Chain A
C-alpha cells in the first residue's frame, strides 16, 4: 500500500482529509510520533493557507528516500495571487489575512526542508520534507 498521491484542496473538509492522508503517509514512512505530529500540523497550516489565500490548491504527497533515510515530501501548489515579498511572509505574526501569521514561519520550523517559490500572479509552490532520524 502506498500513501503517495495528489489531493485537491477546495474546501475546509479537504484540510481534514489532507491531515488524515499525511498522517497515514507519515506512519508508512516510519516517522516518530512527534515528527508525525509536526508534519501533519505543518500540512494543516499549509493546506489552510492555500484555501484562504488562493481559494484552493492541491498537495502532492510523496515518500522519498535519501540513502538509508526515508522521508515524506509534501508539495502544496496553488494558482492564487502569489506572494510578493517572501521574506516578509515568513516573519512570525505578519499576515495579510485574519490569522495569527504563524502558518508559513511556523511550518518552516516544523519540517527539515522548506522551499517556497512564488511570484505575483504566478501562484505559490511550497515543498516541505521531513526525514526519519
Chain B
C-alpha cells in the first residue's frame, strides 16, 4: 500500500499526495497525520493536491475529516493546489468541503497559516 510521507517544516506539517491513493491509503494518511500533529505539536497542516487528478466523495470526506481532527488537536488545515477541473467537479458532485480552508498554492497556504497564527497570538496577548 502506498503511504504518503508527512514532512515537518517549523510548526507546519506538509503532505503532498503524488499517487492515485487507494481507499486504505487515504485512511492511513488520516491516522498518520493525526499522530504526527500530536507527536510534533504542529500548529498547521498543509495538504498539497496539485498532482491529484480527481477528488471523489471519499477523498473529499477524508480532507474534511483531517481538518476536523486537526482542529481538535489545535492545528489548522489548509488544502492547496486544487486543479480547476477538480474544483468544478467537486461542486457539481455536491461536495462543498465545508470547514476545509483552501489556498491556491503552497506559498499562499503557508502565508494563510502564518496570518491566522498571528491572530491567535494577538488575541491571547490582549
A interface vs B, CB < 8 Å? 12-13, 15-16, 19-20, 23, 33-34, 36-38, 40-41, 44-45, 48, 92, 99-100, 102-103, 105-107, 109-110
B23 x A110 contact (CB < 8 A): no
Given contacts A40-B54, A102-B93, A105-B94, 11 further A-B contacts (CB under 8 A): A16-B20, A16-B22, A34-B84, A34-B89, A40-B53, A41-B89, A41-B93, A99-B61, A109-B92, A109-B93, A109-B94
Nearest residue (CB) in B for A13 is B22
Q: How far is the CB of B66 from chain A (nearest CB, A)?
A: 15
A23-B53, A37-B53 known; A15-B92 Cβ under 8 A? no
Would you call B88 an interface residue if the criterion is a C-beta within 8 Å of the partner chain's C-beta atoms? yes
Would you call B57 an interface residue if the criterion is a C-beta within 8 Å of the partner chain's C-beta atoms? yes
Would you call B73 an interface residue if the criterion is a C-beta within 8 Å of the partner chain's C-beta atoms? no
Across the interface, which residues of B come within 8 angstroms of A13, CB to CB? 22
Between-chain CB contacts (< 8 Å), 19 pairs: A13-B22, A15-B22, A16-B20, A16-B21, A34-B88, A36-B85, A37-B53, A37-B85, A38-B92, A40-B53, A40-B54, A41-B55, A41-B56, A45-B93, A48-B23, A48-B56, A99-B58, A102-B93, A106-B93
